[in-house]
Amino acid sequence: MGAPRVVRVGMLGCGTVGSAVARLLADHAGDVEERAGVRLEVARVAVRDPGRERDVPVEASRFTADPLAVVEDPEVEVVCELMGGTEPARQLILAALDAGKPVVTANKELLATWGRDLFDRAEAAGVDLAFEAAVGGGIPLVRPLKESLAGERVRRLVGIVNGTTNYVLTRMSEDELSFAEALAEAQALGYAEADPAADVDGHDAAAKCAILASIAFNTRVVASDVYREGIGAVAQEDIRNARTLGYVIKPVAIAELEDEDVAVRVHPAMIPANHPLAAVRDAFNAVFVEGDRVGELMLYGRGAGGDPTATAVVGDLVRVARNLALGGRAQGCTCYLDRRIRPMDDMESAYYLLLQVQDRHGVLAQIAGVFGDNEVSIKSVWQEGTGHDALLVLITHRAREGSLQSTVRQLRDLPPVTAVRNVLRVEGTE
């Protein structure tokens, strides 16, 4: 037998994920070679600072500060983009595709904004653009949705797709930490960014939700289509009330088909304590899928971190390299429909409201009247305390978001209501 065909990989970025990919390719070289049918070699690596010492099994001479030189290097057959951000990553990926080089990327931010351009160019060039690691880190989600479920009609996805916010809400729920304390802990553990807004305000989850919705519903959904609310308003009193009612508060990303429209949203929500997603704790991620025939299934695991994410990247590299060596292409873009994005006001959910009210005769009837006027039906109500600081905890039946928001506006103007302390959506209830 002759020497195996070598496929040379050009890496753009060698940080948390890139360095884990380089180590994994070296540590599992034999297995990767058997599975890919080719030997994968890291030929060039672009980083910002090529002089820095790095714990990777790649010769120093292969590092450069010029990412375009990596893309254009005639030895490089596959480009692995792990630098993040939209530019210059977008231009570099386009250059690689135009040069007929397949690309593997983990860049959710880029795909959720510029996915259409990138997939069109990959299609025009007839080369693979693989992105398993962009959603759910080490959890296989893209290929299961695109390929394993190709015969299914997925109706709904509910995911916990951001580890930082799940960690924060888990610590707030289980250890009664305040939001600030839990976030500081997540940062100390390296889960959250130094500027945690991308996590806390839901931007990261919205990008992932857009990618998942595009795949599940075969239509283009971009991050700006996704309704987004952060977890910053969740307070200990909401967590306690949720517990009393048999719920936990989780940071969810929901993508669903409603009358063939796509509805996409990211926000904290109460979910029943016995729902499989309630058991997804700390920085773990999961996506719960509901389909016509398959019923319910859940994919669970580590949604971030160098090593877990590197397994998804290397899985894509193996497949792309196999295609190069043996011919064939991975399934390209599956967005063959043009679905409408349903406005948030037309979506439906059940709701939790925490109202601070003056406890006096007739207040409950006045409040119930506002709900009734807006066609929002109350499922349960309970009162805590008396006098000026009485609290009312209300759960509604499913209602239109627009009707609920109008109810909230009118409640704020109702004299006995001194504050609408919080409003949260409730999943898994009628």
Please return the burial class of 420, using the count of CB atoms within 10 Å of its CB with bins 0-12, 13-18 and 19+. middle
Q: What angle do CA 147, 150, 154 make, to 5 degrees?
A: 115
22 binds ligand NAP (CB under 6 A): no
> How many C-beta neighbours within 10 Å does residue 224 have?
11
The DSSP secondary structure of 378-416, one letter per residue, reads: EEEEEEES-GGGEEEEEEE-SEEHHHHHHHHHHHHTSTT
Among 9, 32, 47, 423, binds ligand NAP (CB under 6 A): 47
Q: How far is the CB of 111 from ligand NAP (least distance, A)?
A: 9
Q: How far is the CB of 319 from ligand NAP (least distance, A)?
A: 18
CA distances from 187 to 191, 283, 384, 400 (A): 6, 12, 35, 37
Among 10, 13, 230, 416, binds ligand NAP (CB under 6 A): 13
332 binds ligand NAP (CB under 6 A): no
Among 5, 6, 8, 15, binds ligand NAP (CB under 6 A): 15
Taking a C-beta distance cutoff of 8 angstroms, is the pair 327, 403 a contact? no
Closest to ligand NAP by CB, 18 or 202: 18
Extract the runs of DSSP E, i.e. beta strands, from 22-91. Answer: 39-46, 63-64, 78-81
Taking a C-beta distance cutoff of 8 angstroms, is the pair 161, 136 a contact? yes
108 binds ligand NAP (CB under 6 A): yes
107 binds ligand NAP (CB under 6 A): yes
In the window 298-327, what residues touch ligand NAP (CB under 6 A)?
304-305, 309
426 binds ligand NAP (CB under 6 A): no
For residue 250, what are the contacts with CB-CB under 8 A and spacing of at least 6? 160, 166, 169, 268, 269, 271, 277, 278, 280
Q: What span, in angstroms and rounded, lies between the C-alpha atoms of 191 and 308?
A: 14
86 binds ligand NAP (CB under 6 A): no
> How many C-beta neighbours within 10 Å does residue 49 have?
8
108 annotated active-site: no
Closest to ligand NAP by CB, 115 or 137: 137
Closest to ligand NAP by CB, 16 or 418: 16
Taking a C-beta distance cutoff of 8 angstroms, is the pair 223, 212 a contact? no
Q: What span, in angstroms and rounded, lies between the C-alpha atoms of 313 and 333?
A: 18
Among 36, 133, 158, 310, binds ligand NAP (CB under 6 A): 133
Q: To which residue do tokens 């904004």 refer?
A: 113
Q: How far is the CB of 54 from ligand NAP (least distance, A)?
A: 7
48 binds ligand NAP (CB under 6 A): yes
115 binds ligand NAP (CB under 6 A): no
Q: How far is the CB of 67 from ligand NAP (least distance, A)?
A: 5
Closest to ligand NAP by CB, 49 or 338: 49
Closest to ligand NAP by CB, 89 or 263: 89
Q: Which residues of 63-86 are buried (b: 16+ CB within 10 A; e: fewer)?
A: bbeebeebbebeebbbbbbbbbee
Among 7, 9, 10, 14, binds ligand NAP (CB under 6 A): 14
Residue nearest to ligand NAP according to CB distances in the complex: 15
DSSP strand pairing (39-46 vs 6-12): parallel
Q: What span, in angstroms and rounded, lies between the C-alpha atoms of 88 and 307?
A: 25
Output Rg (C-alpha) for the chain, integer angstroms: 24
User: Which span (101-109, 218-226, 280-288, 393-401) binds ligand NAP, by CB under 6 A?
Assistant: 101-109
Closest to ligand NAP by CB, 275 or 302: 302
Among 88, 144, 301, 332, binds ligand NAP (CB under 6 A): 88
Q: How far is the CB of 265 from ligand NAP (least distance, A)?
A: 21
Among 7, 10, 18, 139, binds ligand NAP (CB under 6 A): 18
17 binds ligand NAP (CB under 6 A): yes
137 binds ligand NAP (CB under 6 A): yes
- Please work out the total of residues on this chain that contact ligand NAP, with binding judged by CB under 6 A: 24
62 binds ligand NAP (CB under 6 A): no
- Three-state DSSP class for 5? coil
340 binds ligand NAP (CB under 6 A): no
58 binds ligand NAP (CB under 6 A): no
Q: Interhelix angle for 108-125 vs 203-217, to 10°?
A: 40
Closest to ligand NAP by CB, 15 or 428: 15
Contact footprint for ligand NAP (CB under 6 A): 13-18, 46-49, 52, 67, 82-84, 88, 106-108, 133, 137, 304-305, 309
Q: List active site positions.
A: 208
